[in-house]
Structure 1
């Protein structure tokens, strides 16, 4: 197609676009509208008002060296480099066991000028003996650690506000940030200090498997080593994220950076300031995802929520209000779409709060009232708890083969053979056939079947009866609750055809 044939159509589109801009508002000119579509013409004024609140965090840590810290390389016999390395390692200056200081750099920002409160990442100041805040005007202040949280990688520092006039920034609403919104990052990349970069929100609610509450803002604003702990601003100059991680094969920015959203950070920061530690809500359940197979087995139309795989003994719901096999689909008025939504929402809830929890149990929705415990108090219980769920008695067969598994009564010889805890009850799997549906789901000899389709089993006969009943109901999958030898519970779905 020739240029002369294209031009009339193109001219018509340009005239229409110009008319649309004029109709939208007589005060908006064509160049202004195009500039807005292309992004902000300059962020100089914005950066100028924020950069004083951003600090460079330098830390030092005293370590002891030693000849084992940098071992002499092993070289082939007669290597021409043998003499060189012998000379180097023999004549290293001083005693290798002497203490030496290791320094690192990061970023942070002032959130309270009167109190001298600074926010940064925990990994920036971890194991530091000395912490110093370096300001944009060249001044420096010693910083004291007020509190830290390893789960969200946040830390709170305090400097003496009487020694320097501080500038603070405030948090904004990270929930309002949309993909494509402009953001600005200020930090200390590679120790350069006071560096500004601009980009957009690339994605929200990113899970990068770095912790239990992953919910990152992804941005393409340049974030490099040393930016950790620095702020991510919206165009109103409010902190909507704390820059924490990057994905980079080279160690430099490739346009994939992650920030802790302000919504998650503010609650943690407030707790660290008030108590010096976090005080998170705790439900006392072990959970796993609701897959399509599990949803079908439970009679759910869609796969959503968090499947309760176990209850922590002496926890908030160890009263029967929530049971293994329940699916939590709503917590305190908030929908639980994905399993990872639940730990984050519960953790953000106050300790001792009474909340409504909507569960699906055997295909029926119901609401239970739960009073939350404290996560930090419950973690020791959760890690030590090894109990399983019991079952009914009675048996007519000692062993059976079903769904590719050989199963047997869980008697004393079986407990001894597979080293199964006395707290575990059910039917033991003694063998799994190769290429069977059970093996595909990771079931192994020594696992104990405690429930099938949310009904307890304690004999091989009960297992066979439940499988037969499910087939008669037209079910394609059987939902099994399995216990490990120590009693840790998990759910799996096994095809029955």
Structure 2
């Protein structure tokens, strides 16, 4: 039997101590409460001033959701369409001879579904949403936050402004109307909050800011939109855009995106415009819109140079519909409208907004430039043809 000398004993002891130092936390972890793997929050710790401010804002967001979410609904849409199911009649060869005539092949019915959002306007069950959510649909089903569903009736809609008014028959104590704000008071930098059903995820809450106001030129409506970077996706359409007080300032309508998903550029119809449209729909079932019958463009450097214009603002008349109020008033192509009913016209969007805000049957004064000569005439607003 070999004997260990004193130095060997010391070496063994040192190695054992070194191994124990590294292994002891591993061996004891989970078995001794004093050596817990997790660090618990200190209930007595105090928030910093910055954290306190953040918590106050967080509480404000929670209040907005608790206040408004019962007023936001999901709208399931459904329609039945006929589709051609003959596989031999769908190729380009047969389309050349038969076109897309549905009689050229066997037909079958197919259900198509969609989903959007809406906001409750009053205890009578009126609901505001987008026209494109309900367009050409046969069945509309509204789901409340409490999961109760009701079949909705379409009161009317306006395709140009993308506004629709629905109604459900629900007990008054089961529906909570939203509070409508004033979109004219909205400023860039204000909080912007969206609640809806993006991609079918109901009662989703997203937050951003107002990126721009009076964003025009997006379509032929002449409407100036509220732009926001709050995430808006398919399914948010028709839902409310809210301020930090939980007031509806807009109706989410569309996004600018190459991918089809949110990239932080969303647009909402100002609630003041939406209110005006829905009130008219409720009374008349449709919108009777003033019209003068011209196609117009805003002035730019090229137009000003070609026409040798000495003005910087106005709306250039590019086309006139025969028999329209503009035609009857003697307006000509290449005229530049500078004033409408005593108000200065800055560009084409400005003129569209002025006409839209007018009343059918009213005679208004126009100032225009024709070959650098100022001409004053008048025009009678008529109802826009369907």
TM class, shorter-length = 0.7 to 0.9
**In structure 2, what is the equivalent of residue 109 of structure 1?**
119
**In structure 2, what is the equivalent of residue 133 of structure 1?**
142
- Pairwise CA distance, 1:33: 12
The separation in 2 between residues aligned to 1:317 and 1:152, in whole angstroms, is 23
SS at match of 1:225: coil
Maintained 8 Å contact 1:279/1:376? no
SS at match of 1:318: helix
- Pairwise CA distance, 1:275: 0.9
**In structure 2, what is the equivalent of residue 176 of structure 1?**
185
Equivalent residues, number: 325
Unaligned runs of 5+ in 2: 1-47, 92-105
- Pairwise CA distance, 1:153: 1.4
TM-score, normalising length: structure 1: 0.59
Maintained 8 Å contact 1:121/1:244? yes
**In structure 2, what is the equivalent of residue 237 of structure 1?**
246
The separation in 2 between residues aligned to 1:70 and 1:238, in whole angstroms, is 56
**In structure 2, what is the equivalent of residue 55 of structure 1?**
73
**In structure 1, what is the equivalent of residue 346 of structure 2?**
337
Compared CA separation, residues 248 and 325, structure 1 to 2 (3 A): closer
Q: Is 1:291 matched with 2:300?
A: yes
Compared CA separation, residues 250 and 313, structure 1 to 2 (3 A): closer
Q: Which range is displaced more, 128-137 or 148-157? A: 148-157
Maintained 8 Å contact 1:267/1:348? no
Compared CA separation, residues 162 and 307, structure 1 to 2 (3 A): same
**In structure 1, what is the equivalent of residue 175 of structure 2?**
166
Compared CA separation, residues 358 and 172, structure 1 to 2 (3 A): farther
The separation in 1 between residues aligned to 2:370 and 2:84, in whole angstroms, is 60
- Pairwise CA distance, 1:244: 1.1
Maintained 8 Å contact 1:325/1:361? yes
Maintained 8 Å contact 2:310/2:372? no
The separation in 1 between residues aligned to 2:365 and 2:252, in whole angstroms, is 34
The separation in 2 between residues aligned to 1:54 and 1:47, in whole angstroms, is 10
**In structure 2, what is the equivalent of residue 149 of structure 1?**
158
Maintained 8 Å contact 1:148/1:272? yes
- Give per-residue Cα distances to partners, 1:409-439, cap 9 Å, x unaligned: xxxxxxxxxxxxxxxxxxxxxxxxxxxxxxx
SS at match of 1:128: coil
- Pairwise CA distance, 1:97: 4.7
| Residue in structure 2 matching 1:224, options 219, 230, 233 | 233
> Which one has the largest radius of gyration?
2
Maintained 8 Å contact 1:286/1:310? yes
TM-score, normalising length: structure 2: 0.75
SS at match of 2:245: coil
The separation in 2 between residues aligned to 1:68 and 1:179, in whole angstroms, is 55
Maintained 8 Å contact 1:152/1:211? no
- Pairwise CA distance, 1:51: 0.8
Compared CA separation, residues 283 and 302, structure 1 to 2 (3 A): same
The separation in 1 between residues aligned to 2:84 and 2:322, in whole angstroms, is 47
- Give per-residue Cα distances to partners, 1:338-372, cap 9 Å, x unaligned: 21222232123221122232323343445433221
| Residue in structure 2 matching 1:323, options 320, 332, 335 | 332
- Pairwise CA distance, 1:333: 4.3
- Give per-residue Cα distances to partners, 1:422-480, cap 9 Å, x unaligned: xxxxxxxxxxxxxxxxxxxxxxxxxxxxxxxxxxxxxxxxxxxxxxxxxxxxxxxxxxx
The separation in 2 between residues aligned to 1:299 and 1:65, in whole angstroms, is 56
Compared CA separation, residues 134 and 291, structure 1 to 2 (3 A): same
Compared CA separation, residues 158 and 203, structure 1 to 2 (3 A): same
Q: Which has the higher helix share?
A: 2
- Pairwise CA distance, 1:268: 1.8
The separation in 1 between residues aligned to 2:87 and 2:157, in whole angstroms, is 29
The separation in 1 between residues aligned to 2:120 and 2:155, in whole angstroms, is 14
Q: Is 1:363 matched with 2:367?
A: no
Compared CA separation, residues 330 and 133, structure 1 to 2 (3 A): same
- Pairwise CA distance, 1:271: 1.6
- Pairwise CA distance, 1:197: 1.0
- Pairwise CA distance, 1:258: 1.2
Maintained 8 Å contact 1:198/1:222? yes
SS at match of 2:174: coil
The separation in 2 between residues aligned to 1:66 and 1:321, in whole angstroms, is 51
Counterpart mapping for 1:306-321 below 5 A: 306-321=315-330
- Pairwise CA distance, 1:124: 0.9
